[in-house]
Amino acid sequence: MMTTYPKLLFLMPTNSIIWLEGDGNYTRMHTQDGKYQSIPYTLKYIANKLPDFVRIHKSSLINPMYVQELTSRGYQDYWVKLSSGQVLSVSRKRIVQTATKLNLPKP
């Protein structure tokens, strides 16, 4: 699938994107090859364009096909482990939504 943005065209299939990281008015796309590409759009804008991705934190959006597990490391301290080995924090206010979208029980 080709993803298009106003005045910008990415010839990158969305299934090659593992996760996205917000950085002010830019977003870093972390891909399967271990690299990232910065694009000049907010994470909120990208999240609206990629409805199948899961917003786990104010600065993180993940591709659910790369999630290995959702774990708890203590009281209301949740983490998602991706197949790339990356471990990302899940915010407390997004844990129920994250578990639901990933079809996983809340830890």
Interval 66-81: pLDDT, tens: 999 999 887 778 999 9
- Cβ count within 10 A of residue 22: 21
pLDDT in tens, 22-62: 999 999 999 999 999 999 999 999 999 899 999 999 999 99
What 3-state DSSP class applies to 6?
coil
pLDDT in tens, 21-31: 999 999 999 99
Output 102 or 5, whichever has higher pLDDT.
Answer: 102
Give CA–CA dist 97/86, Å, rounded. Answer: 20
Q: What is the pTM (predicted TM-score) of this model?
A: 0.85
**Residue 101 burial class via C-beta count within 10 angstroms: exposed 0-12, middle 13-18, buried 19 and up:** middle
